Amino acid sequence: MDQRDAARAVSLATKVAGRGLMLKFGVAGAGIFFVLLLVFGLVAGGMSGSAAAAAQSCGDLGTPSAPLPGGGGSTPSGPLHDQELANAKVIDQAAQQGGLSGRATLIGLMTALQESSLIDLPNGDRDSIGLFQQRPSAGWGTVDQILHHPDFQAHSFFYGVGPQHDPHGLTQIVAWQTMSLGGAAQAVQGSAYPLLYAGQEAPARQIAQQAGINLDRPGTGDGNGHVPDSSGSPTPTNSTGGNCYSSTPPGQTGGPFHDGSSPWPDVVKNPRSTEQAIQWERDQAATGEATWHLRCLATVASAYGWGGAGYTNPPANSHSYATELYRNLIPASMHHDGDRNPPPGALMFWDTGSLAGHVAMYIGNGQVASSDILRPGYIDIVPATEIETKWGAKYIGWAPPYFPAAG
């Protein structure tokens, strides 16, 4: 490790700690971390002149190494930068293998820069690892499959994991070619900080130029059906259990949603009116806290004034799942299968490929108030079509806000 890389390692280590390592490893881990910083600090402390300036000009997490003043030219160098260039080439090769354009490579580079500074990190927030900070617990593969295998990581990012593409990759995102660059990255990653990817475009282009990558390359295919080679390893699976949604790859979406007009049956009686429930959802979206992660059914019940939907937890009663409420507890006479004209206040249901499914309240003008769709744990107001385009869910239909077991 040269002086330049020592300084960059301090910056990278500090940023990684900010992404969750301190919380992950606790006090003991924090102590080890600060010992490492001290070691790096002593090395950097022995620098003088231009080397001292290096510590102030290192690339931050999510950016390539910055040129050093008086350091012999404007092109970054050193072992860490060599890793960045090598990993950038791997990402580009994975895109080309599926016939994807240079735009896809750019999206991949932007994502990896934001997530890991294009370094194959062995850790991160919770169990996140690698260039794209992919989580084994979320179905992105085993630690052995992901770590030290940037080609597998890049293929997973572009094409999803396994024959079912679950979790989905970039090529399963509907219209990714015409989305904003940062929006396409977020559609794959589902980050709590979706706006940060866009800021990596300029650094990604810089890295691409240094690595000899042609970002203007036209595509020869859409990559659909391209499955990463797992080198004989079992295909990773993603079990969502009782979650309110899954990372099932997007399918074809239907048309837009429009306001319908249908009075609730007399049996539908809730503590709050439809107008009050919609206002509750809007208030939660504006000022609410992150208390609704994987609790989609609880959100709509709470909006209508109930303490909960009133169902026991599985396996005693699987009706605590959103789709089971629609299929088994709400009378068939109240089902509006596939109808894309729900009245404001209606409960809308989606099949996510898991038993749980997803439910959200339609609030009018083609929008729903949904938990987890933009920020884990929060309620946000989005176009109803985003449940399909972001999660790949299949729309089932809508029903009146009927909670027969609530009390």
Question: What confidence score (pLDDT) does residue 378 get?
Answer: 93
pLDDT in tens, 251-283: 345 678 888 888 899 999 999 999 999 999 999
pLDDT(222) > 70: no
Give the fold, CATH level 3, of 274-399: endopeptidase fold (from Nostoc punctiforme) (3.90.1720)
Q: Tens of pLDDT along 166-177?
A: 889 999 888 888
Residues 115, 111: Cα–Cα separation, whole Å = 6
Residue 5 has pLDDT above 80, yes or no: no
pLDDT, residue 201, reads 94
Read off the pLDDT of residues 98-145 as tens digits, 9 standing for 90 and up: 899 999 999 999 999 999 999 999 988 889 999 999 999 999 999 999
**Residue 405, pLDDT score:** 79
Tell me which long-range contacts 176-180 makes (C-beta under 8 A, separation of at least 24).
176/104, 176/107, 177/101, 177/103, 177/219
For residue 125, the model assigns a pLDDT of 86
72: left (phi over 0), alpha (psi -120 to 50) or beta: left
pLDDT tens digits, residue range 137-164? 999 999 999 999 999 999 999 998 877 7
The two tokens of residue 83 are: 């890793």
**Which pLDDT value is given to residue 79?**
81
57 neighbors 8 (Cβ within 8 angstroms): no
396, pLDDT greater than 70 = yes
Residue 102's beta-bridge partner residues?
Answer: none
Token couple for 193: 């900080």
- So what's the pLDDT on residue 49? 36
pLDDT over 90 at 212, yes or no: yes
Reported confidence tier of residue 3, pLDDT bands at 50, 70, 90: very low
Of 18-27, 87-96, 182-191, 298-307, the least confident? 18-27
At 309, is the pLDDT very low, low, confident or very high (cuts 50, 70, 90)? low
Q: What is the 3-state secondary structure (H, E, C) of 66-84?
A: CCCCCCCCCCCCCHHHHHH
Query: What is the structure's pLDDT at 322?
Result: 83
50 pLDDT above the threshold of 80:
no
Query: Residue 316's pLDDT band (boundaries 50, 70, 90)?
Result: very low
Residue 228 has pLDDT above 90, yes or no: no
* Cα gap 333→193, rounded to integer Å: 42
Higher pLDDT, 75 or 19: 75
Query: What per-residue confidence (pLDDT) applies to 302?
Result: 93
pLDDT in tens, 53-85: 322 223 333 333 333 333 333 455 578 889 999
Which residues are CB-contacts of 283 (< 8 A; sequence separation ≥ 6)? none
Residue 374 DSSP label: S
Q: What pLDDT is recorded for position 254?
A: 61
- Give the contacts of 251 (CB within 8 A, at least 6 positions apart): 388, 392, 394
Q: Model confidence at 220, in pLDDT bands (50, 70, 90)? A: confident
Contacts of 35 (CB under 8 A, 6+ apart): none
pLDDT tens digits along 372-386: 999 888 999 999 999
pLDDT-wise least confident of 220-229, 288-297, 311-320, 340-349: 311-320
Q: What integer best gives the mean pLDDT of the chain?
A: 76
With a cut of 90, say whether residue 224 has pLDDT above it.
Answer: no
- The pLDDT assigned to 43 comes to 38
Using the predicted structure, report yes or no on whether residue 247 has a pLDDT greater than 50. Answer: no
| Domains in the chain: boundaries | 3-57, 79-211, 274-399
Cα 52–chain centre separation:
38
How large is the average pLDDT for residues 177-201?
90
Which has the minimum average pLDDT: 13-17, 289-293, 379-383?
13-17
Of the pLDDT bands very low, low, confident and very high (cuts 50, 70, 90), residue 12 is low
Burial level of 259, CB count in 10 A (0-12/13-18/19+)? Answer: middle
